Structure 1
Amino acid sequence: MSKSDQSFDGIANKFERNIYGSSKGKIRSAVLAAHLRPFLDSPKPLDVIDVGGGTGEMAAFALNAGHRVLLNDISADAIALAKAKHAGSTRIAFAVGDLQALQSAPVDRVFCHAVLEWCAKPFSVIDKCISLLKSDGVLSLSFFNHNAALFSNALYGNFDLIEQGLVTKNRVRLNPNNPQKPEAIINYLQSQGLSIELTAGVRCFHDYMRDRDHWESKYNDILAMELAYSTQDPFKWLGRYFHVIAKR
């Protein structure tokens, strides 16, 4: 991410509370972790770069699996929260700044979760992620799903916003403003020589529930549904986030 991209400086605590303190964030983390688990199963520690890793939520998953993590973000406030969260770990390092300036030897895994939708040039972020991988490295890429954004806005009757291409002048800082089309991302990764190992939706049901009280009261049931159907057609294509795992 670069200086022209969304930073969470000044609102990192609010972001942490609103996202990871909610059923939305908990389900997102749990589903991503379930998809990633087979790709982190290794007899030796792997080197992982978490691009735009924010407050270190997904870095924790890699650390708990025994791996080494370099966490990068443009938000110094987010990195400060991540440092506090992982103060007891000796296997994590931090890099505050523009992703494009990040220097690293090629690594085994690159995470780029919920980053592209905040970026002015998302495909340049993908290019940088690929450049950080070893020849057999794996990229885990999740992003705000354009299909889901269109569908949910249609359900709410926001037809003017759809006509505007889902772009609004009145931006809310915690609302992603550049959703991506899964088909375009998949095609681009393949055009760069990567093989697609997994495609899945994240929150295929949760966000569309009419009774939002169920988000908490029926959380375990919802999570079970999300895990059961996240990789299945047609449900995965309407996940609020889309998850692609690709191998170089």
Structure 2
Amino acid sequence: MSADHHFDGLAGKFSRNIYGTTKGRLRHELLCHAMAPWLPASPTPILELGCGTGEMGLYLANAGYPVTLTDASVDVLENAQALLTGKDNATFRHQPMLDIDDIHAFRFIVCHAVLEWLATPLDALSHLYSKMQPGAQLSLSFFNRDAAVFNNAVYGNFDYIARGMKVKKQVRLNPKQPLAPAEIIAHCEKLGFRVQAKTGIRCFHDYLRDRSMQENRYDEVLALEKQYGGQAPYCWLGRYFHLILQKDG
């Protein structure tokens, strides 16, 4: 069995490659936009699983929420601590998701771009569901396998698709296990989650023929993404897929 992927030794490259591009900037803004209507009305403590270099934690802390940021990588957690310097409502833990024993204490949990790096993502979701308290909500996002196929077809990478999008040497910043939204939704509903919202993240940006528009017409792209990201069929083509899930019962 393959192991979960962590980012020790890659924190700087991780931050540059993700948040130093329009892809990362847009992903972050769209995730905030999709999650915002579902955030607790009062400053309820929030748990972030896989906080990365801290951008989402900073957004939550700035919004007034006490936020606990966790990550399996020491390096990226140190970056997150530096980013949130002076934020008294932020705490940090060096913990993989499966080692966190107080998930039940939180009413709102954030888990963005984590599942696709895990060896057994469906098992991780099952574990998370079992530890959540009834009524708690989960903001979940993951790299969309269906959109990855479409994107590679657009660019003519037919051999790569035929190989199941596998390469001999895995690039360490490429998600190891893209996930099909329909499969994740079905698994979540089988567990007992109720899907409250679903949104495609970057439904248009990555497919622009003139890639200079990603930068020089960014605001128009952002507005388009916000308008259509929650609507079928466009949502299914988002390079990332976002769900708001509630544990009923």
Q: Same fold (TM over 0.5)?
A: yes
Number of the residue aligned with 2:217: 218
Partner of 1:23: 22
Q: Is contact 2:141-2:243 (8 Å) kept?
A: yes
**Matched residue, 2:75:** 77
Distance across 1 between alignment mates of 2:147 and 2:131: 30
Deviations 1:15-50 (A, max 9, x none): 1112112111111111111111111141x2212111
> Matched residue of 1:136: which SS?
coil
Q: Which residue of 2 aligns with 1:194?
A: 193
SS at structure 1 position matched to 2:56: helix
Partner of 2:157: 158
Are the counterparts in 2 of residues 106 and 132 from structure 1 also a CA contact under 8 Å? no
Give the secondary-structure state (helix, strand or coil) at the position aligned to 1:49. strand
User: Is residue 205 from structure 1 mapped to residue 216 from structure 2 by the alignment?
Assistant: no
Match in the other structure for 2:84: 86
1:125 equivalent in alignment to 2:124: yes
Distance 2:180 2:190 in 1: 16
Tell me the distance in 1 between the aligned counterparts of 2:130 and 2:218.
38
2:75 is the alignment partner of 1:66: no
Percentage of identical aligned residues: 42
Answer yes or no: is the 8 Å Cα contact 1:110–1:132 preserved in 2.
no
Q: Any idea what SS the aligned residue of 1:135 has?
A: coil
SS in 1 for 2:91: strand
SS in 2 for 1:13: helix
CA distance in 1, matches of 2:192, 2:20: 38
> Alpha carbon RMSD of aligned pairs, Å?
1.4
Runs of 5+ consecutive residues of structure 1 not aligned to the other structure: none
1:207: Cα distance to partner? 0.4
Q: Is the 8 A contact 1:110 1:129 kept in 2?
A: no
| Alignment partners' CA distance in 1, 2:96 and 2:31 | 25
Aligned partner of 1:176: which letter?
P
**Distance of 1:229 and 1:36 partners within structure 2:** 15
Uncovered stretches (5+) of structure 2, i.e. residues with no partner: none
Q: Tell me if the contact between 1:130 and 1:139 (Cα under 8 Å) persists in the aligned partners.
A: no
Cα distance, 1:132 vs structure 2: 4.0
Deviations 1:71-129 (A, max 9, x none): 11111000000001111111111111322111214211111101111111111221233
Q: How many residues align?
A: 245
* Distance in structure 1 (CA, Å) of the matches to 2:192 and 2:183: 15
Q: Distance in 1 between matches of 2:82 and 2:128?
A: 26
Contact conserved, 1:114 with 1:144, CA < 8 A, in 2?
yes
Q: Which structure 2 residues correspond to residues 12-51 of structure 1 after superposition, within 5 A?
A: 12-42=11-41, 44-51=42-49
